[in-house]
């Protein structure tokens, strides 16, 4: 297998002049070399299900990091805790604990829900005052009294419902 750890370099032709000299064997003419797009190169991902990504996180190493990488070739017991952490951070962006931690996004979502419910309440209130007119006269207390009396006279639901709760002898609601 070819190691994929090296920085990607693309050598498409053996020599540069080969591209442009016409030959009887070559069927296609070369118009140029395509620019390598970022999205075509191996990318770094922190994923639980794929713990070792295709590339190291830090691609350009500082001189300190380079010397640390050299030291890594020797005994690992000789490395200090900080050096080991530094080596880990060169290869990886976030540790498992960091990549798994919650974002707290749910708090924003719940806050947004409450906010918009509240806003809707204000809209409904305004609507009641400025859009809807008065309720019908049938809601007036006097009318309602007459309506109840009419229902009792008609013996609405006399067995278990409305009129059943009215005491006709004493002209009051049953206690």
Residue numbers of the site for other proteins (CB under 8 A)?
1-5, 48-54, 72-73, 75-79, 81, 84-85, 87-88, 90-92, 95-98, 100-101
CB of 60 to other proteins, least distance (A): 17
CB of 69 to other proteins, least distance (A): 8
CB of 33 to other proteins, least distance (A): 25
Question: Using CA atoms, how far apart are residues 31 and 28, in angstroms rounded to an integer?
Answer: 9
CB of 103 to other proteins, least distance (A): 12
Give the bridge partners for 166, in sequence order: 173
Which one, 13 or 45, has the nearer CB to other proteins?
45
Which of 3, 101, 111 lies closest to 55, judged by CA?
A: 3
Instruction: Give me the helix-helix angle, 81-91 and 63-72, nearest 10°.
Output: 110
Q: Which residues lie below 8 Å from residue 89, measured CB to CB, with a gap of 6+? A: 57, 58
Which one, 51 or 133, has the nearer CB to other proteins?
51
Which one, 77 or 159, has the nearer CB to other proteins?
77
Q: What tokens appear for 118 in the block?
A: 């509240």
Which one, 29 or 70, has the nearer CB to other proteins?
70
Angle formed at CA 170 by CA 168 and CA 139, multiple of 5 degrees: 65
């Amino acid at each position: 297998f070819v190691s994929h750890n090296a920085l990607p370099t693309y050598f498409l032709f053996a020599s540069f002049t080969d591209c442009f000299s016409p030959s009887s064997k070559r069927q296609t003419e070369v118009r140029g070399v395509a620019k390598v797009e970022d999205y075509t190169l191996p990318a770094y991902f922190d994923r639980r299900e794929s713990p070792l990504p295709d590339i190291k996180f830090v691609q350009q190493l500082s001189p300190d990091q380079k010397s640390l990488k050299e030291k890594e070739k020797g005994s690992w017991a000789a490395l200090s805790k900080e050096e080991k952490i530094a080596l880990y951070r060169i290869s990886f962006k976030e540790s498992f604990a960091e990549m798994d931690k919650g974002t707290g996004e749910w708090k924003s979502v719940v806050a947004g829900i409450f906010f918009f419910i509240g806003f809707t309440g204000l809209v409904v209130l305004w609507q009641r005052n400025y859009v809807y007119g008065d309720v019908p006269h049938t809601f007036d207390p006097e009318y309602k009294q007459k309506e109840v009396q009419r229902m009792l006279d008609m013996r609405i639901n006399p067995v278990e419902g409305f009129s059943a709760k009215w005491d006709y002898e004493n002209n009051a609601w049953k206690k």
